[in-house]
């Protein structure tokens, strides 16, 4: 019994350390006074953070990743939300087949998806570039959006919308004042997940990017000679911003819950 009491906390601590080591390494080496490579620690410096675009191509690749992630997230979130509502609220022919097709990209290996999409674009005569990458990211992001938002749609009590219609609210008013606010937590979670998957993707992107370079592709190419410290700076900045977004969301949610509790 005593062994089991200490074994689980120990396992949790070791797992946390294992997960945090790469992140700590990335942040630490963003301050490395590197020359040609960023593999060996040469000293502490802030120059990498102050001159983050000094490494050729790193800021361009980062900008491309942001544009692709934002564009694919917006489209996938809108389409995925609409599909989720249709699957939960309406009955139609092909509903089961649609659900199966939506889950297929999640179960299919990325190398298969990437090669298949590249072949489709080639057969259609579409040149590889920013557009093909965005289309590819929309395709696999929709599945994750549907899974996330669908659970939120299923959890909404239809009586709330019926009450709005009983009070002579227009369909648009019911949507914007009742349905959409209730769906917002699920939509935001789905959008953040889609953005993270798009920004981080390498395999599907590599098959369809053509001359366009993204941050994961840049890091993969640069890894042979040592990832530049500027790439570590951008990766660290994204991680810090993600942590801040989570903290702000949690704090905002807690403040809202306390206000609602106080007003009850």
Q: Is the pLDDT of residue 142 over 70?
A: yes
Query: Residue 14's CB: how many other CB atoms inside 10 A?
Result: 10
CATH code of the region 31-49+57-263? 1.10.3720.10
Mean local confidence (pLDDT), 216-227: 77
pLDDT band at 70 (very low <50, low <70, confident <90, very high): very high
Contact 97, 160 (CB under 8 A): no
Unique residue bearing structure tokens 């889950």: 103
| C-alpha triplet 97, 103, 107: angle, nearest 5° | 130
Whole-number Å distance between alpha carbons of 237 and 137: 23
The per-residue pLDDT for range 35-59, each reduced to its tens digit, is 767 777 888 888 888 888 877 788 8
- Res 218: pLDDT: 85
The pLDDT of residue 204: 92
SS3 128: coil
* Burial readout 124-151 (b: 16 or more C-beta within 10 A, e: otherwise): eeeebebbbbbbbbbebbbbbbbbbbbe
Helix axes 58-89 and 229-263, enclosed angle (nearest 10): 40
Q: What is the pTM of this model?
A: 0.82
Nearest to 82 by CA among 163, 234, 194, 187: 187
**From CA 48, how far away is CA 54, in angstroms rounded?**
8
What residue spans define the domains of the chain? 31-49+57-263
**pLDDT at 2 exceeding the cut of 70:** no
What does the pLDDT average to over 133-143? 92
Report H helices in the chain: 2-29, 47-50, 58-89, 95-107, 110-124, 130-154, 158-166, 171-174, 180-200, 203-208, 215-222, 229-263
* Band of residue 69 on the pLDDT scale cut at 50, 70, 90: very high
Q: How confident is the model at residue 102 (pLDDT cuts 50, 70, 90)?
A: confident
Which tokens hold the place of 220? 């993969």
Which residue has better confidence, 130 or 229?
130
Q: What is the DSSP string of 93-110?
A: TTHHHHHHHHHHHHHS-H
pLDDT above 90 (res 158): no
Show the tokens assigned to 189. 């979670």
CB atoms within 10 A of CB 120: 14
The confidence score (pLDDT) of residue 189 equals 85
Q: Write down the pLDDT at residue 71.
A: 95
């Amino acid at each position: 019994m005593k062994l089991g009491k200490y074994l689980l906390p120990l396992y949790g601590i070791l797992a946390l350390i294992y997960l945090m080591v790469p992140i700590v390494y990335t942040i630490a080496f963003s301050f490395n006074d590197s020359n040609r490579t960023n593999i060996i620690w040469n000293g502490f410096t802030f120059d990498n953070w102050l001159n983050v675009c000094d490494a050729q191509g790193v800021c361009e690749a980062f900008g491309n990743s942001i544009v692709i992630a934002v564009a694919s997230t917006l489209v996938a979130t809108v389409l995925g939300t609409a599909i989720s509502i249709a699957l939960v609220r309406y009955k139609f022919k092909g509903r089961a087949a649609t659900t199966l097709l939506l889950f297929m990209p999640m179960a299919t290996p990325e190398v298969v998806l990437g090669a298949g999409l590249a072949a489709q674009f080639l057969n259609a005569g579409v040149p590889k570039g920013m557009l093909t990458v965005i289309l590819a990211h929309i395709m696999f992001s929709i599945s994750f959006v549907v899974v996330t938002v669908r659970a939120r749609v299923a959890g909404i009590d239809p009586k709330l919308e019926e009450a709005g219609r009983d009070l002579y609210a227009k369909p648009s008013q019911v949507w914007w004042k009742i349905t959409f606010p209730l769906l917002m937590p699920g939509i935001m979670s789905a959008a953040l997940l889609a953005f993270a998957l798009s920004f981080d993707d390498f395999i599907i992107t590599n098959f369809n990017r053509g001359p366009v370079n993204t941050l994961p592709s840049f890091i993969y190419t640069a890894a042979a000679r040592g990832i530049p410290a500027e790439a570590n700076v951008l990766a660290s900045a994204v991680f810090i911003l993600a942590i801040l977004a989570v903290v702000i969301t949690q704090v905002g949610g807690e403040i809202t819950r306390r206000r609602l509790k106080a007003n009850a």
